[in-house]
Amino acid sequence: MAETSLARVTVDDGISIFYRTAGSPKLPVLLLLHGFPSSSHQFRNLIPLLAPHYHILAPDLPGFGFTVVPPDRHYAYTFANLSKTTRAFLDALDVSRFAVYIFDYGAPTALRLALDRPDAIAAIVTQNGNAYEEGLGADFWAPLQKYWASDSASDRNVLREAALTFSSTKWQYVTGSPHPDAIPPETYHLDFALLARPGNPDIQLDLFRDYKANVALYPRFHEYFRRSKVPVLAVWGKNDPIFVPAGAEAYRRDVSDLEIHYLDASHFAIETNEARIADLIVEFLRKRNLF
């Protein structure tokens, strides 16, 4: 099995990006972008399965995992900046064309990048990576939408107490999974330990607030799908209460080369379906001879 290496690169005026990498640099690049509240750690089992076929790059986004943002950098935690830093990461590694795996926060991060560099992305694999309003699970998103509308301290505090706890972190992993006991507990324990670092809760709340800007960009994302004709593989945990299956179906409106596969899984479908996901990715990209 291919070995995963751990590395760092400093980009974007001092940000030390921690990333996992595997596979020969001579192979096509597959960028893996994680979501909230995790990091590149979520790809630890998928990377060795994909590395024989691709050069894998899986960075921790600012505010997550082990990427370090210097305090004197005064970094504004917005999705525009997450995308900007990801561009800087790719530039530092001299990556100009790649396929991308998007999950949760990884979706708007990558799709913002696609608006700036539409020819850079050879294909998209979306694992519960949403780009449509109908994909927003009503119960989960209601308190965030309330905060978007009010921008009040009280609504921000509701999210602090409800969405940044250990129980809510574990909930994202196990809710909807037919095999919750098979999900390694270190996943949600690590995520919560990193979320609970001093200052990090407010970083997450800033990103919660800014997510509304991603929704405003959805029409531009759809236009990108139509104009670029980028191939999209949707592998969706069908029991996800955060990004519901309607979000996968909505891709049919704008993507001309689309495959959708539903898994009996939760939001973090990758935790119990990594072999199946890897097989689908390899076959999807092989058939299209994109590189």
φ, ψ of residue 174 to 5 degrees: the values are -100, -25
Q: How far apart are CA 265 and CA 243, in angstroms?
A: 12
Q: How far apart are CA 144 and CA 137, in angstroms?
A: 11
Neighbours of 99 (CB within 10 A): 24
Buried b (16+ CB within 10 A) or exposed e, 123-155: bbbbbbbbbbeebbbeebbeebeebbeeeeeeb
Are 60 and 130 spatial neighbours (Cβ–Cβ below 8 Å)? Answer: no
| Catalytic one of 34, 53, 55, 267 | 267
Q: What is the DSSP letter of 68?
A: B
Burial (CB count within 10 angstroms: exposed 0-12, middle 13-18, buried 19+), residue 216: exposed
For the question of residue 189 being annotated catalytic, the response is no
Neighbours of 1 (CB within 10 A): 9
Residues assigned a catalytic role: 267
